[in-house]
Amino acid sequence: MVYHGGLQGGSIEDEVEVFWGLGGGVGYILKDNLHLFTGIGLDFIYVVPPNESRNMKDDSWSTTTVLQPGFYSGIQYNINIRYNKELRRRWGFYPDLRVYFLPYLPRRAQWIESEVIREEPVAPPIPGYEPRFPFGPVEEVNYYYHKAKGRSASDFGYGIGGGFFIGNWANYLQIHFEYNTLNPLRVISELEDYPRTVSGKGGQFILRLSGVGLL
């Protein structure tokens, strides 16, 4: 048996959203370099607000991050490029195939629906008095927010990737690159009047750093 755990980051295809996450699990060694694995992960997806919200205070845009839990299973085959039998140290590369299940997609969002700007004139300057700051209109900006909740949904997907590993026979580090077909923001992108151009396409590009060891 083996265990694994690590951190990952990436971006969603055709979108400006980025995310980072963590995960871990266990696996079973079929042969010396071939093993099956399964695990659970949690991603923190940063949702970029609409253009009119980006220059405002942080509390003006509530939906900045959504959490996405998920499960995965896969198979990996390590190919040694160099192996020291005496020290049992090795490094090499590996292909990796995974399947994913996201049981609950984020479905709530809040955004600015409209704004009203009122300008109130101030009293004219007093003759003979020079103020420290010039007189001008007083602006009052009112923002109106829209909240929406979409349908409950889940998502299945698969990932194709690989990477490099370095360490000894029992414990080693991995740098992993992957593309998968998941679309965690599908429900949010389908909300009526959502003020962003969202393609709704699935797909994630991932860079992952993880450690693997024998139990």
Mean pLDDT over all residues of the chain?
Answer: 78
**Of 1.20.120.640, 3.30.565.10, 2.40.160.20, 2.60.40.10, which CATH number belongs to 2-107+152-214?**
2.40.160.20
pLDDT in tens, 127-149: 666 655 555 555 666 666 777 88
Residue among 72, 58, 59, 66 at smallest CA distance from 20: 66
pLDDT in tens, 151-169: 889 999 999 999 999 998 7
Tokens standing for 136?
């001008």
141 burial via Cβ count (<10 Å: 0-12, 13-18, 19+):
exposed
Q: How many CB atoms lie within 10 A of CB 154?
A: 11
- Nearest 5°: CA angle at 66, between 64 and 70? 160
* Domains of the chain, residue spans: 2-107+152-214
pLDDT at 173 over 70: yes
